């Protein structure tokens, strides 16, 4: 199938490679130069604009940083992908962007005669590289079926969350829960140590209880051992927590736990850990 992939950052480059490795005809684009070399070597073609990449593609996928980057990729009147897409082709937004922007983008796609689904992902760099992300999809079942060859190449499971917008709403649940658990674990392990006890032993015992999820076991181990690898940075967590808080505020929905989690990760950012892995939040309490 002819596809396009827009945005070749840490996640996007890996996701695009899974499409190439699955045997699809993939055109790729990135805002800055030098990111497409490995993909081109593997068989992709590099386009000069999102519009050029999207021309003739049945499925066009985007993985970029935020609302502004997504708007530039899709709706720029001269270079945007929607202007290059054929009627009936499917636009797939995998970026973690605001629900309000997803609604606006869906409207722009409809005006362009293009089908649209939102498909943010659960998973970090290793699952992206291995094609084992979890795809959280909002949209019409027929459009999901059209995009399924791309979704199946990028992910190990595709969950239809509901209509357009349900995908990103579900993604905010996933990332909000991830962040809240990490923030709580960091401060509680620090409290154990402040009381003069072995935080590592307390964590071992926690892992033997029903409270400890697989994520908490894996991320807690990284938290205690420390890591220089960046699977998802503190700044990324703060961006997503901001999306949750802003969206909830517009819906007049109180989110005190999310706001407390924001405060905790803000401490990490202000301590110079913004570009470090999210689990490095524990360092805040060690350096107090």
Partners of 6 in the beta sheet?
29, 62
* Catalytic annotation, pick one of 2, 156, 171, 221: 171
The CB-based long-range contact list for 255-258 (8 Å cut-off, 24+ gap) reads 257/180, 258/176, 258/180
Give the per-residue SS3 of 91-124: EEECCCCCHHHHHHHHHHHHHCCCEEEECCEECC
Length of the chain: 288
Is residue 171 annotated as part of the catalytic site, yes or no?
yes
The whole-angstrom separation of Cα 246 and Cα 244 is 6
Residues whose CB is less than 8 angstroms from the CB of residue 181 and which lie 6 or more positions away in sequence, other chains included: 213, 215, 216, 219
Total Cβ atoms within 10 A of residue 141: 10
User: Using CA of residue 46, residue 51, residue 55, residue 57, what is the dihedral sign?
Assistant: positive
* Tokens matching residue 180: 């809240």
Catalytic residues: 171
């Amino acid at each position: 199938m002819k596809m396009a992939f827009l945005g070749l950052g840490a996640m996007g480059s890996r996701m695009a490679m899974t499409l190439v490795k699955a045997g699809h005809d993939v055109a790729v684009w990135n805002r800055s130069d030098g990111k497409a070399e490995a993909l081109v070597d593997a068989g992709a073609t590099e386009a000069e604009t999102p519009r050029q990449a999207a021309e003739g593609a049945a499925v066009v996928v985007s993985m970029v940083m935020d609302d502004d980057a997504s708007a530039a990729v899709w709706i720029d009147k001269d270079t945007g992908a929607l202007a290059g897409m054929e009627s009936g082709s499917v636009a797939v937004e995998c970026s973690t962007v605001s629900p309000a922007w997803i609604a606006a983008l869906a409207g722009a796609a409809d005006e362009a005669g293009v089908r649209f689904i939102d498909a943010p992902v659960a998973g970090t760099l290793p699952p992206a590289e291995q094609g084992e992300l979890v795809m959280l999809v909002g949209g019409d079942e027929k459009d999901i079926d059209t995009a399924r060859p791309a979704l199946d190449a990028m992910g190990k499971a595709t969950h239809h969350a509901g209509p357009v917008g349900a995908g990103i709403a579900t993604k905010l649940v996933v990332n909000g829960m991830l962040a809240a658990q990490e923030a709580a674990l960091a401060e509680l392990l620090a409290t154990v140590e402040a009381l003069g006890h072995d935080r590592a032993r307390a964590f071992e015992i926690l892992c033997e209880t029903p409270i400890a999820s697989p994520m908490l076991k894996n991320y807690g181990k990284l938290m205690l051992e420390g890591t220089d690898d960046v699977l998802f940075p503190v700044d990324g967590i703060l961006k997503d927590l901001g999306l949750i808080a802003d969206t909830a505020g517009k819906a007049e929905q109180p989110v005190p736990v999310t706001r407390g989690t924001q405060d905790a990760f803000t401490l990490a950012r202000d301590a110079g850990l913004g570009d470090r892995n999210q689990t490095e939040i524990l360092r805040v309490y060690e350096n107090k």
